[in-house]
Amino acid sequence: MTSRDPDEQHRTATTLELFFDLCFVVAVSQAAGQLHHALAEGHVGHGLAGYLPVFFGIWWAWMNFTWFASAYDTDDLPYRLTTLVQIAGVLVLAAGVPAAFEGDFRVMVGAYIVMRLAMVGQWVRAAVADPQRRACSLRYATGIAIVQAGWIAWLWLPAHTLFFVVLALAEVSVPVWAERKAPTLWHREHIAERYGLFTLIVLGESVLAATTATQSAFGAGHDVAKLLTLSIAGLVIVFSMWWMYFDRPSHRLLDTLRTSITWGYSHLLVFASAAAVGAGLQVAVDYDTGEAHPAQLIAGYAIAMPVAVYVLMVWVLQVRSTLPAPVGMAYPVAVVLVLLTPFTGAPVHVTAALLALLVAVTVFARGRATV
């Protein structure tokens, strides 16, 4: 298992990586679905208490494989079999999501540990085959294994939230600690593509929600015009979110280890908020059809809050350094306005108008910049 060339030409996602991502769709869908049900019932605290740790586990397992594969994708038999073990783990993890939202994390933690121990095996292989970066690989393997023992203990520890935060911080500290010893040679363009692909996965949850609104519009006794406009507004939001993220290539931002780790870690909020937008749109459909009766503000913020987080993070990570300062400030202004939309009585429609305007301003500024 030798390190890949970080300057390799035409490095793209492999079919195994695409298959890996496809299976993560199931886990993301389960997490967003459970969040939708909790918010529709008005259980905001309960929903967030389940969604955030579940999505952290999904994101961290995906992220670790992605960066390892960028450095050591040998595509041989042991590598493929180990990756398939991880895929099986994420499918079991997805099956345990509903129970995790009810406070029973046993299935999810067990599946997560399987995925992480598979990564330990990968790093041990890398340590044996790549002497130049052996110290780094062994730090990864040791750190991951120790934290997994902590997750097992967590199931029986009191103060679940406190110890979860401690263990989550330990997880994200392992790469920072390991990369100080002969950093791995990951590929910038490949990493940016992999993150873009996962962004498309989480945006797919919102596309599904907009489709649900269209289907509901033709149900008996429903206001067709109202639900169709909701569906269109939902699509405008999703299209705008896609445009903002992919407006400019992001691999140029990954110029140092520190900026790359910051960029990669911050995507937790990008991914989690994008998936939560789908849950928020589902809540909006339930509210308009009368299938659920959350408070009006809860229904409004179910869409406004994740959209605001997404726009803010995309501005910080992707946009701020590529637009003139006066134009770039339109993004935080839009964030504030989106957070006020629940008080308008039509939060989805107003949010869609704000995001469409924001994209138009960005396109105009980019066009002016190239004249």
Residue range 37-73, pLDDT digits in tens: 999 898 999 999 999 999 999 999 999 999 999 999 8
On whether both 123 and 258 belong to a single domain, the answer is no
Residue 74 lies in a domain: yes
On whether both 23 and 88 belong to a single domain, the answer is yes
Residue 69, sorted as left (phi over 0), alpha (psi -120 to 50) or beta, turns out to be alpha
On whether both 152 and 203 belong to a single domain, the answer is no
On whether both 98 and 192 belong to a single domain, the answer is no
Q: What is the CA radius of gyration of the chain?
A: 21
DSSP-assigned letter for residue 220: T
On whether both 20 and 82 belong to a single domain, the answer is yes
In angstroms, the CA 105 to CA 102 distance is 8
Token representation of residue 306: 């994740």
| Class of residue 68 by CB neighbours under 10 A (exposed 0-12, middle 13-18, buried 19+) | buried
In angstroms, the CA 296 to CA 299 distance is 5
Q: Specify the pLDDT at position 196.
A: 93
Residue for token pair 């994708």: 73
Q: Specify the pLDDT at position 324.
A: 80
Domain boundary among 137, 157, 178: 178
In angstroms, the CA 287 to CA 365 distance is 37
105 three-state secondary structure: coil
Contacts of 142 (CB under 8 A, 6+ apart): none
Residue 101 lies in a domain: yes
Residue 304 lies in a domain: yes
On whether both 203 and 339 belong to a single domain, the answer is yes
The range of the structural domain enclosing residue 129 comes to: 15-178
The whole-angstrom distance between residue 240's C-alpha and the CA centroid of its chain comes to 17
In angstroms, the CA 346 to CA 344 distance is 5
Q: Specify the pLDDT at position 7.
A: 75
Our count of domains for the chain comes to 2
CB atoms within 10 A of CB 266: 12
Domain boundary among 178, 205, 237: 178
H helices present in the chain, as ranges: 15-40, 44-72, 77-95, 97-101, 106-129, 134-154, 160-178, 188-217, 224-246, 257-289, 296-314, 325-328, 330-340, 347-370
Residue 8 lies in a domain: no
In angstroms, the CA 336 to CA 243 distance is 20
DSSP string of 316-332, one letter each residue: IIIITTTS-HHHHTHHH
Residue 285 lies in a domain: yes
Residue range 277-303, pLDDT digits in tens: 999 998 988 888 877 778 889 999 999
Q: Specify the pLDDT at position 157.
A: 83
Token representation of residue 220: 């008996």
Domain boundary among 178, 201, 218: 178
Shortest CA distance to 64 belongs to which of 234, 237, 198?
Answer: 198
Residue 29 lies in a domain: yes
Q: Which residues of the chain have pLDDT under 70?
A: 6, 213, 216-222, 368-371
Q: Specify the pLDDT at position 222.
A: 65
Shortest CA distance to 137 belongs to which of 150, 120, 118?
Answer: 120
